[in-house]
């Protein structure tokens, strides 16, 4: 299957700072990438859909000014959590669509964010 | 997307076949059935998907009933590393989002 990487794998930051998470498709071009968030013992919740060269589409209830998404190339999307607070602590996972018909999402290993 | 129903948990002995059921009684004709799994503290891993016909790959087999209202994921020889949460998701062809439910927590024991 296609490979997606994320960096960093885990990050600890102070409240009020901003954190950037990178998502890369290593062996395919991903016109569309997705960002998910997962709280402990819960399922994945889609935050936003990121399309290369255009603005991201955010799910209802997700603050676009707090979670900045940039998809500047076909292999890289970034999520920046601005002015992070302890309630933003979570497991953030990205995915990319692969295939001629873009039929399958492949996921990164996730980034664990802890805001103190 | 159509909703799916999965048992919250299942147990399986190592070396035996694990059969994970999924009910998707409201599935539409253009919706595919996808299976992913998530091992603890990792991102989801794609397993297999299908529309009407049964599918098999190196990881698993997917059996879809003729009326397409349910399916079964089969891991032919479960190992301890197959312990994970398994998600059954239906998705419209060309519709990009995946909506994750609560899945089935499979525990493979020695």
Q: Which pLDDT tens digit goes with each residue over A54-65? A: 889 999 999 999
Q: Are residues B32 and A95, on separate chains, in Cβ contact within 8 Å?
A: no
Tell whether the torsion through CA atoms of A6, A108, A10 and B97 is positive or negative: positive
Average pLDDT over residues B35-58: 95
Mean pLDDT of A90-114: 89
Higher-confidence residue: A99 or B67? B67
Contact A93 B43 (CB under 8 A): yes
* Residue B29 reports pLDDT greater than 60: yes
Is the pLDDT confidence value at B30 over 90?
Answer: no
Which residue has better confidence, B32 or A101? B32
Give me the helices (H) in A1-116, please: none
Average pLDDT over residues A108-113: 97
Residues A90 and A113: beta-carbon distance below 8 Å: yes
Which B-chain residues 11-50 have CB contacts (< 8 A) with chain A?
32, 34, 36, 38, 41-46, 49
Percent of chain B with pLDDT over 70: 95
Among candidate residues A41, A35, A45, the one with its CA nearest the CA of residue A97: A35
Mutate to test the interface with A, among B8, B9, B43, B104 (most CBs of A within 10 A): B43
Which pLDDT value is given to residue B44?
96
Q: Do B97 and A49 touch (CB under 8 A)?
A: yes
Q: What is the mean pLDDT of chain A?
A: 93
| pLDDT tens profile A38-82 | 999 899 999 999 988 888 999 999 999 999 999 989 999 999 999
* Cis-peptide into A8, omega within 30 deg: yes
Instruction: Say what the pLDDT of residue A101 is.
Output: 65
**pLDDT tens, position by position, B51-105:** 999 999 999 999 999 999 999 999 999 999 999 999 999 987 666 788 899 999 9
Percent of chain A topping pLDDT 70: 97
What is the torsion angle, in degrees rounded to the nearest 10, for the CA atoms of residue B106, residue B96, residue A50 and residue A45? -40
Shortest CA gap A115–chain B (Å): 18
Q: Nearest CB to B102: which of A4, A43, A45? A: A43
Cβ of B96 and A93 within 8 Å?
no
What is the predicted pLDDT for the residue at B94?
Answer: 64
Q: Which residues 6+ apart lie within 8 Å of B106 measured at CB? A: B9, B10, B11, B12, B18, B20, B78, B82, B83, B84, B85, B86
* Chain B CB contacts of A100 below 8 Å: none
Record: contact B93-A103, CB cut-off 8 A: yes
pLDDT > 90? residue B35: yes
Q: Kindly tell me if the per-residue pLDDT of B1 is higher than 60.
A: no
């Amino acid at each position: 299957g296609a490979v997606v990487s994320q960096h960093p794998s885990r990050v600890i930051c102070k409240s009020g700072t901003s954190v950037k998470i990178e998502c890369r498709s290593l062996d395919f071009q991903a016109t569309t990438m997705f960002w998910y968030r997962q709280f402990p013992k819960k399922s994945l919740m889609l935050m936003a859909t990121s399309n290369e060269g255009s603005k991201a589409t955010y799910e209802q209830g997700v603050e676009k000014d707090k979670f900045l998404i940039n998809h500047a190339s076909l292999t890289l999307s970034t999520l920046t959590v601005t002015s992070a607070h302890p309630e933003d602590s979570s497991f953030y996972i990205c995915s990319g669509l692969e295939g001629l018909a873009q039929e399958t999402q492949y996921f990164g290993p996730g980034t664990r964010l802890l805001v103190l | 997307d159509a909703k799916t129903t999965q048992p919250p948990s299942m147990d399986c002995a190592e070396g035996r076949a694990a059969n994970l059921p999924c009910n998707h009684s409201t599935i539409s004709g253009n919706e595919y059935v996808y299976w992913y799994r998530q091992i603890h503290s990792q991102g989801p891993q794609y397993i297999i998907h299908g529309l009407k016909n049964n599918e098999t790959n190196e990881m698993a087999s997917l059996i879809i009933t003729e009326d397409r209202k349910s399916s079964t994921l089969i891991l032919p020889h479960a190992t301890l590393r197959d312990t994970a949460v398994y998600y059954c998701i239906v998705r419209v062809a060309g519709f990009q989002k995946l909506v994750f439910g609560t899945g089935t927590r499979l525990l493979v024991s020695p």
